[in-house]
Structure 1
C-alpha cells in the first residue's frame, strides 16, 4: 500500500472526529466590529469612578435553539424567552433574562473579581513650594465593587428542566425552577447565593 493511500485512509478516519469537535459556531453579541446580533448602548456607573459599561440588548426572537452566543466585555439583557438548548456566556459583565429559560439551555456570567490599583502623583501647594505626593487610586472595572451584591445572572421567569446556570457572583430566579436544573457559583457565601421567587 502506498504512502498516499495510507494517508487517505487515516484522513478519512480522523475527519469525522475533527468535524464533531468543531460544534456550533459562536455568534458574538453586540460586537465592536464584524457580524453579530443585539443592540449596544453604554451606561455610566459608580458615579464616574468607572468607565462606561457596554450594555447589549438582544431580542429573544433573534436567538436560535441550540445556538451559541457570547459577550466578550459588558452585560447582556435578553428580552423574551431563551430557546431550548441555547448557550449564552457573558465575560466581565452580567446577564439579565426578561423571560423564561428553555429546556437544557446553558447560561453563564462572570464579573471581574480584581481591582486595578494605580499610584498617581498629586501636586500639593505648601506656601512657597509645590511638592508631589503619591496617592493610590482604584479603578473599578465594569460592575466590580465589593459592595455589589446584585447577582450576575438574573432571570425574571421560570427555568425549564435540565438547564445549567453558572456564575461567580450569585444567581436570581424570579419564577419556578424545573427538575435537574444545575446551578454552579464560585464566589464566597456572601455573593454565591441563589434566590428564587417561587
Structure 2
C-alpha cells in the first residue's frame, strides 16, 4: 500500500502539492494541482503536464470527477505514451501467424525475428526474407501492437486513484472546517458598542 502525504502549504491558495510514495517499490511521485486548471505530475514514472480547458474556481473539484482517461489525454497530449510499441507482443503476433502456416519450416527466420528491438528492425527482418516467405507490408503493420506505455499504466492504476482519493478527502475536510467556522461565528453574540 502506498503512503499519501498531506498536501504541504506552498504559501499560496491556488497551488496544491501532493507527495506520494509506494511502499512496495519505493517509487515516488509529486503532483501539483493549480487552480488555473493545470496538473503537473513528476516522478519515477515520468514527468507530465496537462492544461485543462475547463471552467471552475477550484480545479480540484473538477479533477476528482474526471475519468482517468480524460486526465491522461491532457497529460500526454503529445501522444507518445499513448502509442507505445510493444515489440515482444508484436513478435508473438508474427510468430502466431507463422505457426498457422508452417512453424518448423521457418525456424531460422523466426530466430532472427527474436533479435528485433523496434519497428524498423522488424520491417528490415521481413524485407530480408526470401520473397515467398515475406509478409505483405500492410499485413505486417496490422500485426504490430501499440498501447499505453507501462509508465502511463502505472500512473493510471496507482497514482491517479490515490491522488483523487486524497484530494476528495482534503475537500471534505476543508468543507467541514468551513462549516465549523461559520457555526462559531453565528453562535457568538453580536456586540453593539
TM-score bracket for the superposition, by shorter chain length:
under 0.3
| TM-score scaled by length of structure 1 | 0.23
| TM-score scaled by length of structure 2 | 0.23
Q: Which has the larger share of strand?
A: 1
Structure number with higher relative contact order (C-alpha < 8 Å, ≥ 6 residues apart): 2
> Which is greater in Rg?
2
Q: Which has the larger share of helix?
A: 2
